[in-house]
Amino acid sequence: MSALKNRVVVGIDSSQSSVAAVEWASDEARLREAPLGLLHAWFGETTGAPPGRGTRVTKDAGAALLDAARERVLLRHPGLVVSTELADGHAREALVSAAGDAALLVVGARGSGGFPWLLLGSTGLYAAAHASCPVVVVHATGAGTGGGVVAGLQGRGQDDAILAYAFDSAQRRSLALRVVHSSSYPLVVGSGHELPVVYDEGHIAAEHERLLAELLAGWRERFPGVAVTAVSVRSSAARELVTGSEEQQLVVVGRHGVHRGPLGRLGSTSQAVVRHAACPVAVVPV
């Protein structure tokens, strides 16, 4: 892998979540022993004033923002290879374009424009839905020091990329991994209605646990140093993942929804987790 393709790219602006994103991204680049790219798209950027009253940030101000961020990164991690890019365009397009030559894209959950009470800005959501590489969305509080990594699986034969990222992240940070598997009881379709088939709840729960154990067996062998626990929950895992995020350092979800609309292939579970999780969230294309 080339140095360019191996790099971590983080989008920056004048928001507080951007500061947290730069810190998280620089820590990740150091752990990966990878170069860090700081990207600022100045066109359309506003100050953090109330909606409708923001002042446009000039190109020179954007360059100064990049220089200041680079200085902070090098104070935090002396010797880290850091580059800067001032893009002449809108942030969402610039970030998705940069993701094509990166191993990881990091964005802040809230930008400097828009409505301050929103949990996730449109730029971060767009990047998570469209970038070709994994995207980590960081809230202003960043990541805590306790807990570990938690990954959400759907068990549809598309979980390898999620597990690879989750195990690798846990191993790199010397953290435990918790795997949450989303499942539902089988249904049969009647005359215009969904009717539950006759089932033994204990038997089905045991079957899900068996399948989950088989799914994780090979990954446990590849990453013997990672302590793994697994749980199977009914229906969507969004509630479990969001609630658990308060005690974790990273949540990992997949992006495998239907490719349509402005959110691309970002499914409902991933959307809910990215919007509401208390810790950074990694969205992995599968």
Q: Which tokens hold the place of 204?
A: 């089905």
pTM score of the predicted model: 0.84
The alpha carbons of the chain give a radius of gyration, in whole angstroms, of 20
Rounded to whole angstroms, the Cα distance separating 33 from 269 reads 32
pLDDT over 70 (residue 119): no
Rounded to whole angstroms, the Cα distance separating 121 from 276 reads 12
- Residue-wise pLDDT for 161-202, tens only, equals 999 999 999 999 999 999 998 765 554 444 555 545 555 556
Q: Point out which residues pair with 38 in neighbouring strands.
A: 10, 84
Identify whether the C-beta of residue 38 lies closer than 8 Å to the C-beta of residue 22: yes
Q: What is the pLDDT of residue 186?
A: 54
Q: Is 210 exposed, middle or buried (0-12, 13-18, 19+ CB in 10 A)?
A: exposed
Q: Which tokens hold the place of 87?
A: 């893009």
Name the pLDDT band for 2 (thresholds 50, 70, 90): low
Tell me the CATH class for 149-285: alpha beta
Looking at the domain that runs over 8-138, which CATH code has it been given? 3.40.50.620
Q: Where in the chain is the domain with CATH 3.40.50.620?
A: 8-138
Q: Where in the chain is the domain with CATH 3.40.50.12370?
A: 149-285
